[in-house]
Structure 1
Amino acid sequence: MGNWIPPESETLMFNIDGSARGSPGFAGIGGVLCDQSGKVFCSFSLSVVWQEAVAVEILAIAKACDLCASKPQLKDRKIVISSDCLVAVSWINSADIGNFNLLNLIYGIRNLLCTLGQTSVQFSSRVSNSYADLLAKRGADGDRDVITWEV
């Protein structure tokens, strides 16, 4: 997984990424949920409707939140959703919305984060997100949509 930086012990890391072929353009989102040893619990690669780059990152964060919320066994786990888009992370974590068109999606993510309790969104460098980037590019290229669970 490239220069992936593992999470702390007892924490799961959901590396996510979005890829837009132009802005706006064909787009995809991808992510991989791993523990500190690199064991994969979930991965996804999905095509999304033509989107601008930051919107695609927000969609990837939303999908990771939805997937975490869909598994009761993850409810009490500490999960870090890691994005290489500082703008998207700041819109999720601050009072500033940044983009009115994404208002409902951002508030939806914030509500899910409250429900999930120990789940947070943080910025990480692009080099540590290489596998999520590959999955997002597959989605942008129109490869078939895939969500895989290993738990």
Structure 2
Amino acid sequence: MNMDGATLRNGNGGGIGGILRDPEGKTLMTFSEPTGSGPPILAELLAIRFGLALFSALYPGNNQRLILECDCQTTVNWISNPELCSPIFKEIVLEIGRLSKIGVRRIRIIPRAINLDDDLLVKKGIG
């Protein structure tokens, strides 16, 4: 699952998007949602939380394995090591950590330049 979040330059609106693909790269599902105002890092975290919650609902139990992809190194670092997280984002990072225990095999960073499909879903979410 590849997830992304973004906000408008003025911070007055944001959106999240994600794509769930099978091992062969076939798209199984996409999502695109508005998030409201806030900093870009919050939009990234909200995208990951939304994607993980959706995956957990679609595949209850621990019978599926998921690779999370994100283009934000800070969120990957925070999820891997919550002690590095800014205190204002600690609650959502810990929630992501709890959700990621349900089937997440690996979290990896991907280059922003190849994250074009998610970028379109995020822009759709922003409106």
- Asked if these proteins are the same fold (TM beyond 0.5), I'd say yes
Amino acid at match of 2:2: N
Q: Distance in 2 between matches of 1:101 and 1:23?
A: 20
Between Structure 1 and Structure 2, the one with more helix by share is: 2
Residues 1:63 and 2:50 aligned together: yes
Q: 1:14-54: CA deviations, max 9, x gaps? A: 11111111252310000000023221111100001201011
CA contact (8 A) 1:113 1:120 kept: no
CA-based RMSD of the aligned residues comes to: 1.7
Q: Distance in 1 between matches of 2:73 and 2:4?
A: 12
2:112 to 106, 126, 136: 126
Q: 1:77-123: CA deviations, max 9, x gaps? A: 22111010001111111142422111111111101112x13443221
Between Structure 1 and Structure 2, the one with more strand by share is: 1
Amino acid at match of 2:54: L
Q: Distance in 1 between matches of 2:89 and 2:82?
A: 14
TM-score, length basis structure 1: 0.77
CA contact (8 A) 1:68 1:74 kept: no
Residues 1:31 and 2:22 aligned together: no
Q: Give 1:100's aligned residue.
A: 87
The percentage of aligned residue pairs carrying the same residue is 26
